[in-house]
């Protein structure tokens, strides 16, 4: 992959064309025509879809520079070559392989000043790039504060410092999260004040002993549930005062795609996907959740389409204050946690995953006490019993460790399953309506078109195919295994019920009966 010798001037032509026909705005593909784009976080879940979407639907885009850090002794170019072999790029490989040459790997790391990019490459970016989309972030909820600040907040600061030097910059989009101000019951499309500045926080984490910082973290976070939400909020503050034509995209819970690159496509087990797979394999049997609350989710491809449209909007309007848009469902097509979990369970039973630990079962509760009891009875005790059997057969036990990780993961997400927020998305709707009819079709983002029952089926089949690598041909065998596990589960439950009845009779009713009989005998003697 070679760098282009010069920058094309398609975007200059488009601006002149707009001046001549002021009432006619360019379509998204027209606006991206001839432009050079820089993307950070392009190897992530949303990043892959964004890269493929730009190449598929904006065919005249000139170059897309993808900032990729070295990983496991693999250079950025090698990682890019591996990236384009994945599912989001399948149709491009088949139908438009030449477009993949527009992807240029740039060796860099957002945690470094100047993103750690070599001087020669930096000069190319400064002179040619007119659109920047920053998607780089670590989405783990349990990162130490110092690590989260350096990756998410300092990373954003480094991106802004670099792109302020870009001579042709027309649009900067920062991808945040709708859950970055969790203390607010109603989350509007606006910036919220922070109790501490990003610069102050970056200084604190780098000048404070890690043990002391760990003890200070709960107080620093305040009403934020974790370091991820806190550091994303700090990053937004940096964008708010960056002085660039900018926009902030705030997606809610991003899950499998609606239809691009494939129906339900997902490539990781974060968030709802991990919960779904764990429950479907019989590992998770209880969940702390207010089932009547609504879950706000956004399919990956719709979130990506809205992000691209926001870059177009910012480029056309050149806002003095960054535009904030919530990429949220916002009761346009509401779905409760109960419906999502029960429908997901229905489809998972009909299309089981290979290698289940046990037949799926259990449920959800809003009571922490009941949840704790259920974890003990249905997670901890079975794990120790089965690990004991595994140990007796001469194999290495593993279930106690698995259940410990499962319980830890459930504890990380229960904050989001037991609370409810109201997200305003008026700007998202207005932006969608401002698109041309063709753009609305190509860059679809209207969540009302989704039939959740059909979608959840596609989501489960895609998780089976892309996350677990279960070939569709394994379904008949998986169904036979599930039928066997159903019988075993039924026998165990009946046996457990009989055991409980015996315990109640032997240890409670029988002693009570004997005590009463003895008392009656004593009374009759007297």
What is the C-alpha to C-alpha distance for residues 124 and 4, in angstroms, rounded to an integer? Answer: 9
**Which segment of 162-176, 229-243, 265-279, 396-410 scores lowest on mean pLDDT?**
396-410
In this predicted structure, the answer to whether residue 158 has a pLDDT above a threshold of 60 is yes
pLDDT at 485: 87
* DSSP string for 133-196: EE------TT--HHHHIIIIIHHHHHHHHHHTT-TT--EEEEE--TTS-TT-SEE-SS----SS
Sheet-wide strand order for 171-175: 103-107, 63-68, 36-40, 129-134, 171-175, 246-251, 323-327
pLDDT per position as a tens digit, 267-322: 988 888 888 888 888 888 888 999 999 999 999 999 999 999 999 999 999 999 99
Confidence of residue 66 (pLDDT cuts 50, 70, 90): very high
pLDDT at 325: 98
> What's the first-to-final CA gap in the chain, in angstroms?
104
pLDDT per position as a tens digit, 15-50: 444 444 335 899 999 999 999 999 999 999 999 999
Q: Which two tokens stand for residue 295?
A: 């879950």
pLDDT at 463: 93
pLDDT at 44: 94
> What does the DSSP 8-state code read for residue 384?
H
Q: Does domain 28-267+295-334+420-452 have CATH number 3.20.20.70?
A: no
In this predicted structure, the answer to whether residue 194 has a pLDDT above a threshold of 70 is yes
In this predicted structure, the answer to whether residue 4 has a pLDDT above a threshold of 60 is no
Q: Which two tokens stand for residue 95?
A: 């139908």
pLDDT per position as a tens digit, 223-278: 999 999 999 999 999 999 999 999 999 999 999 999 999 999 999 888 888 888 88
pLDDT per position as a tens digit, 132-143: 999 999 999 999
Average pLDDT, the chain: 90
pLDDT at 39: 98
In this predicted structure, the answer to whether residue 525 has a pLDDT above a threshold of 80 is no
pLDDT at 504: 79
What is the C-alpha to C-alpha distance for residues 393 and 397, in angstroms, rounded to an integer? Answer: 10
What is the C-alpha to C-alpha distance for residues 41 and 136, in angstroms, rounded to an integer? Answer: 4
What is the C-alpha to C-alpha distance for residues 77 and 251, in angstroms, rounded to an integer? Answer: 29
What is the Cα 302 distance to its own chain's centre? 13
Phi-psi category of 387—alpha, beta or left, where left has phi over 0 and alpha has psi -120 to 50? alpha
**Which segment of 38-52, 70-84, 494-508 scores lowest on mean pLDDT?**
494-508
pLDDT at 501: 85
Distances (CA, A) of 5 to 1, 77, 96, 172: 12, 19, 22, 24
Query: Which of the pair, 345 or 308, is modelled with greater confidence?
Result: 308
Mean pLDDT of 430-450: 96
Distances (CA, A) of 469 to 84, 231, 358, 465, 474: 18, 34, 19, 5, 10
Query: Which of the pair, 42 or 14, is modelled with greater confidence?
Result: 42
Domain boundaries, the chain: 28-267+295-334+420-452, 474-525
Decide: pTM greater than 0.75. yes
Confidence of residue 496 (pLDDT cuts 50, 70, 90): confident
């Amino acid at each position: 992959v070679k760098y282009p010798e010069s920058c094309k001037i398609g975007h200059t032509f488009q601006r002149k064309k707009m001046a001549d026909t002021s009432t006619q705005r360019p379509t998204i593909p027209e606006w991206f025509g001839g432009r050079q784009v820089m993307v950070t976080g392009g190897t992530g879940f949303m990043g892959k879809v964004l890269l493929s979407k730009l190449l598929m639907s904006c065919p005249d885009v000139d170059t897309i520079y993808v900032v990729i850090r070295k990983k496991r002794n693999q250079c950025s170019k090698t990682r890019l070559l591996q990236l384009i072999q994945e599912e989001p790029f399948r149709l491009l490989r088949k139908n438009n392989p030449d477009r993949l040459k527009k992807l240029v790997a740039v060796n860099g790391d957002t945690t470094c000043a100047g993103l750690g990019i070599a001087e020669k490459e930096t000069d190319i970016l400064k002179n040619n790039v007119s659109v920047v989309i920053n998607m780089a972030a670590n989405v783990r909820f349990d990162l130490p504060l110092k690590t989260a600040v350096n990756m998410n907040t300092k990373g954003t600061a480094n991106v802004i410092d670099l792109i302020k030097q870009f001579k042709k910059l027309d649009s900067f989009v920062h991808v945040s999260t709708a859950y970055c101000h969790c203390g607010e019951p109603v989350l509007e499309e606006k910036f919220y004040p922070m109790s501490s500045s990003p610069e102050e926080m970056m200084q604190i984490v780098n000048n404070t002993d890690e043990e002391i910082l760990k003890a200070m973290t709960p107080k620093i976070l305040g009403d934020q549930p974790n370091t991820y939400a806190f550091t994303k909020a700090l990053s937004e503050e940096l964008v708010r005062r960056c002085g660039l034509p900018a926009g902030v995209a705030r997606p809610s819970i991003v899950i499998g795609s609606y239809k691009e690159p494939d129906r339900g496509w997902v490539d990781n087990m974060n968030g709802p996907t991990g919960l779904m797979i764990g429950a479907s394999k019989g590992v998770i049997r209880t969940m702390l959740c207010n089932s009547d609350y609504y879950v706000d989710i956004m399919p990956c491809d719709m979130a990506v389409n809205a992000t691209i449209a926001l870059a177009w909007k910012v480029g056309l309007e050149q806002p003095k204050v960054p535009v904030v848009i919530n990429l949220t469902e916002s009761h346009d097509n509401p779905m409760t946690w109960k419906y999502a979990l029960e429908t997901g369970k229905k489809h998972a039973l009909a299309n089981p995953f290979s290698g289940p630990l046990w037949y799926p079962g259990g449920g959800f509760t809003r009571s922490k006490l009941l949840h704790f009891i259920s974890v003990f009875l249905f997670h901890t005790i079975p794990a120790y019993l089965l690990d004991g059997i595994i140990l007796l057969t001469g194999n290495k036990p593993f279930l106690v460790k698995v259940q410990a990780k499962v319980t830890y993961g459930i504890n990380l997400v229960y904050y989001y399953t037991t609370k409810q927020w109201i997200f305003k998305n008026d700007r998202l709707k207005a932006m969608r309506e401002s698109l041309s009819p063709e753009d609305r079709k190509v860059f679809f983002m209207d969540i009302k078109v989704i039939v959740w029952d059909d979608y959840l089926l596609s989501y489960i089949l895609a998780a089976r195919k892309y996350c677990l690598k279960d070939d569709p041909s394994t379904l008949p065998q998986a169904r036979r295994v599930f039928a066997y596990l159903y019988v075993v589960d039924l026998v165990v439950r009946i046996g457990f019920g009989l055991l409980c009845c015996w315990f109640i009779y032997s240890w409670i009713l029988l002693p009570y009966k004997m005590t009463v009989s003895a008392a009656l005998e004593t009374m009759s003697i007297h």
